[in-house]
Chain A
Amino acid sequence: QKEVEQDPGPLSVPEGAIVSLNCTYSNSAFQYFMWYRQYSRKGPELLMYTYSSGNKEDGRFTAQVDKSSKYISLFIRDSQPSDSATYLCAMSSGGNAGNMLTFGGGTRLMVKP
């Protein structure tokens, strides 16, 4: 079993829909949680960064962390075709292990016009 599990999709939604992306994890030491967006043949780019439990909002994006359930989510409101990409969750314990991130396998999202 992987440390971080993420449904690979693909997830196909119509333009304007609310998208919910999720990850579960097993390592209770994780404290820092991130979402990255990766377009085809490009490097991942950081979308959201949260520490510990709670919600964080940035424009159309909302990240939620529930450490008690070891579950994190990314919501995208009013989804656009330009949101079509692979979304990767990532997390770290932030300790002395060089801040190495553990990634989920990514969910491929397709937003249709």
Chain B
Amino acid sequence: DTAVSQTPKYLVTQMGNDKSIKCEQNLGHDTMYWYKQDSKKFLKIMFSYNNKELIINETVPNRFSPKSPDKAHLNLHINSLELGDSAVYFCASSRSRHGYTFGSGTRLTVV
């Protein structure tokens, strides 16, 4: 009974393609997030979203866009993929100011 699930786990794609990563949480949390983890294990916030507010890290290229059909889902859409987008992308959720619950990650490789 996975709390935060993301699909796919692995994604290999060519430069220039458009791809989406899906995320769902069944914890009833009010806020969801996307983080990027680079090869040096550094986790960096990309987006924070609840049903009222989307907060975007200004360093994130506008090729990345979050889409939330409802409170339990926050998908990540990426246009015109570049080699530098290769990383592990983590979805997470939280309730108010409590700690996060992370998904198991999507390993994206752009070739």
Contacts and interface: CB of A to CB of B under 8 A. Distances in A.
A100 B97 contact: no
B25 interface: no
A41 B99 CA distance: 20
Interface stretch (B12-20, B67-75, B79-87, B102-110): B102-110
B102 A43 contact: yes
Contacts of A36: 102
Interface string A72-100: 00000000000000101010101001111
Contact of B31 (A49, A86, A98, A105): A98
A2 B100 CA distance: 22
Given A32-B97, A88-B43, A103-B42, A97 B55 contact: yes
Contact of B48 (A32, A42, A100): A100
Interface residues of A, number: 27
Contact of B99 (A8, A34, A97, A105): A34
A13 interface: no
Interface of A: 8, 32, 34, 36, 38, 41-46, 49, 86, 88, 90, 92, 94, 97-103, 105-106, 108
26 contacts: A8-B40, A34-B99, A41-B105, A43-B4, A43-B90, A43-B102, A43-B105, A45-B102, A46-B100, A46-B101, A88-B41, A90-B43, A97-B55, A98-B31, A98-B33, A99-B94, A100-B33, A100-B48, A100-B55, A100-B57, A103-B43, A103-B44, A105-B41, A105-B42, A106-B42, A108-B41
